[in-house]
């Protein structure tokens, strides 16, 4: 009889192998030219296992990004910090890049990084909009309110811009420092949107 925890660990290991295989392939060739069979061969995972979890390679890439971001927070109304929770993703992503910079090095290349960051921007835009809609439901509605979709697109694009600047400049700032830069750029917008 198999224990559920063991099966969960196997699934997590398989998902991790698939994600690593995709990232390593992105470092070698154009994303558009990567086919699922190459990912399966690199990860040594069967086709049926792949399609049990993912529709296609885009779905695999997005799942890796969502896994990195972690669970979305619940709205909180902490005085003075009410906007901070909307930016829950920033420090973990900066820390992840910092930890893996030496392992990836320049292997992923500018094109691979652009593809990954474009997917990151799209996922963040959707997730931030969802979090902001929850936040607006908790707070008062303003007739002049900027739509959450516009604000989330702005926040996600600004995040990717700051992330790319940081990477292009050799990550001279620590993750907490670059996270502070990102927050100083975006928190005034969140304060204005919620007032």
Task: Please indicate, yes or no, whether residues 159 and 75 belong to a single structural domain of this protein.
Answer: yes
On whether residue 165 sits in a domain, the answer given is yes
On whether residue 65 sits in a domain, the answer given is no
Task: Please indicate, yes or no, whether residues 47 and 75 belong to a single structural domain of this protein.
Answer: no
Give φ, ψ of 58 to 5 degrees: -65, -45
On whether residue 134 sits in a domain, the answer given is yes
pLDDT tens by residue, 144-168: 577 888 999 999 999 999 999 999 8
Asked if 157 contacts 109 with a C-beta cutoff of 8 angstroms, the reply is no
Ranges under pLDDT 50 in the chain = 1-4, 77-80, 143
Task: Please indicate, yes or no, whether residues 155 and 81 belong to a single structural domain of this protein.
Answer: yes
- Per-residue pLDDT, 110: 73
On whether residue 102 sits in a domain, the answer given is yes
Phi-psi region of 46 (alpha: psi -120 to 50; beta: other; left: phi over 0): beta
Alpha-carbon distance values, 86 to 38, 41, 101, 104, 155 (Å):
37, 39, 26, 29, 10
Task: Please indicate, yes or no, whether residues 83 and 51 belong to a single structural domain of this protein.
Answer: no
The rounded Cα 50 to chain-centroid distance in angstroms is: 21
Counted residue by residue, the chain has a size of 195
Task: Please indicate, yes or no, whether residues 129 and 153 belong to a single structural domain of this protein.
Answer: yes
Task: Please indicate, yes or no, whether residues 187 and 113 belong to a single structural domain of this protein.
Answer: yes
Task: Please indicate, yes or no, whether residues 99 and 14 belong to a single structural domain of this protein.
Answer: no
The parent domain of residue 159 ranges over 70-194
CATH number at residue 44: 1.10.10
Task: Please indicate, yes or no, whether residues 39 and 104 belong to a single structural domain of this protein.
Answer: no
Q: Cβ atoms within 10 A of the Cβ of 96, count?
A: 13
- Per-residue pLDDT, 146: 79
- Per-residue pLDDT, 30: 79
């Amino acid at each position: 009889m198999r224990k559920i925890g063991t099966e969960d660990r196997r699934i997590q290991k398989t998902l991790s192998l698939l994600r690593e295989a995709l990232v390593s392939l992105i470092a070698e060739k154009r994303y558009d030219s990567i086919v699922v069979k190459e990912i399966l061969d690199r990860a040594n995972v069967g086709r049926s296992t792949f399609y049990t979890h993912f529709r296609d390679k885009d779905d695999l890439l997005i799942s890796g990004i969502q896994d990195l971001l972690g669970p979305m927070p619940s709205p909180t109304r902490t005085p003075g910090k009410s906007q901070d929770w909307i930016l829950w993703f920033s420090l973990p992503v900066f820390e992840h890049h910092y930890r893996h910079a030496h392992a990836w090095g320049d292997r992923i290349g500018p094109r691979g990084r652009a593809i990954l960051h474009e997917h990151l921007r799209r996922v963040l835009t959707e997730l931030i909009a969802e979090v902001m809609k929850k936040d607006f439901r908790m707070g008062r509605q303003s007739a002049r309110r900027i739509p959450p979709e516009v604000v989330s697109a702005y926040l996600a694009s600004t995040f990717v811009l700051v992330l790319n600047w940081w990477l292009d400049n050799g990550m001279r700032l620590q993750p907490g420092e670059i996270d502070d830069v990102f927050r100083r750029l975006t928190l005034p917008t969140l304060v204005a949107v919620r007032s």
